[in-house]
């Protein structure tokens, strides 16, 4: 196994929240239905959504850029203990396959008005 790429991204939470308020259809273009709500069905906070957006940006960077990949072809998931992972399909899976990526490692954080994520793509 070797590292194919690493991506990191930071998102100002309030600016991201304002974008979602200003353009209500944006959330549906960026996130899957499952990402928009918590495990209990409550709407996700702006911090949580900003961290997921940062993860998708970091994922694209780990794959060499975002051209041609759909945001909703990557989904940030949490296991029962809260550990994040990324499931890919469609355009993102095709890019990962072309690079020989077998798995992703992801870390999410938000504090002080900034959400961040790091993604490592591994063959």
pLDDT tens digit sequence for 69-78: 999 999 999 9
Compute the mean pLDDT over every residue in the chain, rounded to the nearest whole number.
Answer: 96
- How confident is the model at residue 65, as a pLDDT? 86
Six-digit token string for 121: 């793509």
Q: What is the pLDDT of residue 89?
A: 98
What percentage of the chain's residues is helix, strand, coil (to nearest 5)? 40, 35, 30
| Angle (nearest 5°) at CA 108 between 34 and 102 | 75
Q: Encode pLDDT of 80-92 as tens digits.
A: 999 999 999 999 9
- pTM of whole model > 0.85? yes
CA angle 108, 48, 90 (to 5 degrees): 75
Beta partners for residue 105, in sequence order: 120
pLDDT at 119: 98
Give the pLDDT confidence of 24-58 residue by residue, as tens digits: 999 999 999 999 999 899 999 999 999 999 999 99
All domains of the chain, ordered by start, with CATH?
Answer: 3-122 (3.90.470.20)
């Amino acid at each position: 196994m070797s590292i194919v790429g690493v991506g990191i991204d930071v998102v100002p939470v309030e600016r991201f929240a304002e974008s979602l308020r200003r353009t209500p259809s944006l959330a549906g273009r960026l996130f899957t239905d499952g990402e928009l709500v918590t495990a209990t069905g409550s709407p996700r906070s702006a911090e949580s959504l900003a961290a997921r957006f940062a993860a998708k940006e970091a994922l694209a960077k780990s794959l060499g850029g975002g051209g041609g990949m759909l945001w909703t072809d990557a989904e940030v998931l949490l296991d029962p203990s809260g550990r994040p992972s990324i499931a890919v399909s469609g355009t993102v899976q095709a890019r990962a396959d072309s690079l020989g990526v077998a798995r992703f490692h992801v870390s999410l954080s938000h504090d002080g008005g900034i959400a961040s994520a790091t993604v490592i793509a591994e063959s």
